[in-house]
Chain A
Amino acid sequence: MAPLRIVPVFLLLASAALAQTYGVGRAPTPAELAQDITISSTGVGLPPGHGTAAEGKVLFTQKNCVVCHGPDAVGGVTSAPNLQAKLGPEVDAWDRKGGGDGIPVKAPYATVVWDFIHRGMPLGNEGTLTPNEVYALTAYLFAINKIIPEDQVLDQNNLAKVKMPIGDEWVRVPDWRPKTPRLAGYPY
């Protein structure tokens, strides 16, 4: 059988690759490492800064967020999502409509919302917001969705501690193994 012949060759190659490094590439400079904008769910990687909902409300207009997300972030202007859940905070986050209704409510971690704004907004001018502005916009979206009090100051120390409506009730990605069905007991 062909697979029997292939297996030893594959193992040989794999073990050769595992046994060797090539000394190619160099260590990153501090400036290059500073371009790492990854934020962990526990807040590792968050830059120092702070902001409030009141500041965020002003920025939401100033930074043209309203052009796509609409006044009061309720959407309806373009296909950009509505950011203010129409349903009240008492409604189960999972019962909200698709991706459009109140995306910040559906985030499992507060850091996800911060990271989303920091990476991807405003569309066309990404990377131009300062850390303080991102904290303020995050606070604004959380306040209008009743996730935090309107007067709370968000900063690098308390952002990851914000309790999100979705809580812990979402599924972690199952462990992945090669040549394994994606869902045990599901033959398709």
Chain B
Amino acid sequence: MDPKRSTRRELLKGGALAVGTVAAGASVGKIAFAETPASGPAPSLPSYAANEAPMVPASEDVIAYGVRSHYVTSKRIPANGRASPDDFGLEFHIATPLQDSVGTIQASSLHYVATTKGSFIPDIDPAKHTLMINGLVDRPRIFTMADLKRFPSVSRFHFIECSGNSASDRNKTVQESHGLTSNAEWTGVLLSTLFKECGLQKNANWFVAESAEEIKGASTIPINKGMTDVIVAYGMNGEPLRPQQGFPVRLIVPGFEGIFNTKWLRHIKVVDQYQLNMNDFGHLRRDPKEAALGYQIGPKSVITFPSGGQKLPERGWYEITGLAWSGGGAVRKVEISTDGGKAWHAAQLKGTPNPMAHTRFGFMWNWEGGEHVILSRATDEIGQVQPTVEEVAKALGVAYTPKFRVPMNNNTIMPWKVARDGSVTNGLPPVPTGA
């Protein structure tokens, strides 16, 4: 053992005198002693030795890349109860542990994952990978990864959410009900910069983004979106994309459903007509209202604490906290109700809300031991408000029954029920069997 460390440990184990010495040395001694009552028996000073953690030397791996504490065990889980690996023995959708999240970004290792049709993840050598842009452009181009990094870069916070991220009464935790959305800082070149480099032609109305995974999944996206804010991203949270997130390059289509955010991007074709490609099939609709709801994610929020499966240990003050986001822009307002929606209170937004990004909110609440249904409701900068399921049915001209399902992504208000013993459960009304 390091002799210096041994010396310090001996000091700490030396009891009150040693503690006083160390504390004074750290300029906090006065605070500790100030709480000593003026009369009565002399209080025993806290034994720092009792709380002493073992000193663990860092391995080369820990020094090189770092690991989280072994006391932190938060994990992703297969989504929707579907086994992962799925029927094909391949990975499918994996949900992020929102109940443990703090701040606004998910660690890259915990970011939710979805794959197309359960395809395997390609192991791409970035030195050999290229992105081709062709079609209705004056100058078709091939870009290497090194080429992409020569263009002016942007770094922006954006959420991604799977359209299937829709809560049901069967979900026990917020990870099960809302875990298919995550937020990260994405770095790359704006697609508009690349389109300018290639020279869009007059009849360029759509672009098809194609992945290098085995099934070459492709999505059709409006050129307007491509010229507005789409990022060809190679960086995530300060390092290269992870393989599960599309290494070495992916599309970020801010605010659009997850499937448009094409991973392992290899090809963009500019076209004049809408092309219904493999990944577009799920958007095929007869009802214009439903079709319109299938691209941009609506205003949405969810309380992550206290949420399903958690327990308030005692009465008293707690910060109700959670995440809010919208595909329509930045979150402008989040409101909290602790009485099932009768009264609403403004929550504090943590930091500056970014457009099409998760925003953390908080609301201090003194729980006095009663039964409560707690809700959160987001409003975005263009005035869209997170609805109740009844409001969606009404707006779509459908009679509401518990069988009613919100078309496309379900952005309705999520209730959590706090019981008298402090335990928290899913507050959605049970859907009748056979529904």
Contacts and interface: CB of A to CB of B under 8 A. Distances in A.
B134 A188 contact: no
B274 A172 contact: yes
Contacts of A124: 214
A119 B278 contact: yes
Contact of A108 (B220, B222, B284): B284
Contacts of B210: 37-38
Interface stretch (A23-31, A47-55, A82-90, A144-152): A23-31
B421 interface: no
Interface in B265-283: 267, 269, 271, 273-278, 281-283
A180 B411 contact: no
Interface residues of B, number: 78
B163 to A, nearest CB: 13
Interface in A16-45: 17-18, 20-22, 24-28, 32-33, 35-42
A103 B284 CA distance: 11
Contacts of B298: 182, 188
A154 B163 CA distance: 35
Given A116-B278, A171-B285, A187-B384, A17 B222 contact: no
B208 A24 contact: no
A5 interface: no
A2 to B, nearest CB: 8
A181 B384 contact: yes
B225 interface: yes
A40 B276 CA distance: 8
Interface string A76-104: 00111000000000000010000100010
Contacts of A170: 284-286
Contacts of B327: 182
B328 A179 contact: yes
A172 B277 CA distance: 13
Given A26-B141, A28-B141, A124-B214, A79 B86 contact: yes
A179 B381 contact: yes
20 contacts: A17-B152, A24-B147, A25-B147, A28-B141, A40-B275, A99-B282, A107-B281, A115-B277, A116-B281, A120-B117, A169-B286, A171-B285, A171-B286, A174-B288, A178-B229, A180-B328, A181-B383, A181-B384, A182-B295, A183-B292
A-B CB proximity, top 10 nearest: A120-B215, A171-B291, A188-B387, A25-B141, A183-B292, A182-B296, A176-B222, A119-B216, A25-B143, A78-B87
